[in-house]
Amino acid sequence: MARVSQEHLDARRRQILAGAARCFARNGFHGTSMQDVLKEVGLSAGAVYRYFSGKDDLIAAIADEAFGSIRRAFEEAAELTPPPTPDRLLGRVLRGVFDRQVYGMERRVCAALILQVWAETMGNERLAKTLDDGYTGMRAAWGKLVDAYRAAGLMRADVPADDVARTLIAAAQGFIAQEALFGGVEPEVLENGLRGLMSMGPAKSS
């Protein structure tokens, strides 16, 4: 029997995840059955179960990719020298996440799927662990970035680095939530808003 290449195995796994993601984005996690996934990808049950044990396994794999995509975008941006200011950095991160066109889905659909994943973690310990690991990694990456800002004389030293990291991550999460709920939220909106807040200074006396 001919040996199947790793490239073929990876492509088939990707095909299954893409089909499952489309189903979940369309019908929600709880409204999607394994039969729906099989129909979407056009494969037999045996072919799919070779890669995934069931729907929970598919959800976990999609969640891991979603979190990993965001984490990698943060880490890549944080490694730039000199470090870009927060407005430019967050814009770069969000473009990186959505320009990857996860599973070939449009930006709003992708954002909606990420929101579903976040909601699912509330009652799923496996997904919660995946989310916690990803969040911890992002906080560490931003903490290093804050150190770089301070070394460059761009940021005051009396605010805890983790507080800054969590606030910037919250801004990115809020952008994703707005895109999922309302659509049409361009990264430039977040960049401009942050730039405006960063420009604030003491009020001038008349």
DSSP of 36-71: HHHHHHT--HHHHHTT-SSHHHHHHHHHHHHHHHHH
Nearest residue to 116 via CA among 159, 55, 177, 172: 177
**What pLDDT is recorded for position 101?**
58
Q: Is the pTM of this model over 0.85?
A: no
**CB–CB of 30/116 below 8 Å?**
no
**Cα–Cα distance measured from residue 34 to residue 124, given in angstroms and rounded to the nearest whole number:** 18
**What pLDDT is recorded for position 41?**
93
**E strand segments, the chain:** none
Please report, in tens digits, the pLDDT of each residue of the chain (206 residues total).
Answer: 446 688 888 889 989 998 999 899 889 888 999 999 999 999 999 999 999 999 989 988 888 877 777 777 777 766 777 778 889 888 888 887 776 656 667 888 888 888 888 888 888 888 888 888 888 888 888 888 888 888 888 888 888 989 988 998 899 889 989 999 998 888 899 999 999 998 887 666 55
**Cα–Cα distance measured from residue 83 to residue 133, given in angstroms and rounded to the nearest whole number:** 24
Describe the crossing of helices 107-120 and 86-99 by its angle, rounded to 10 degrees: 100
Six token digits for residue 79: 């490694």
**What pLDDT is recorded for position 125?**
87
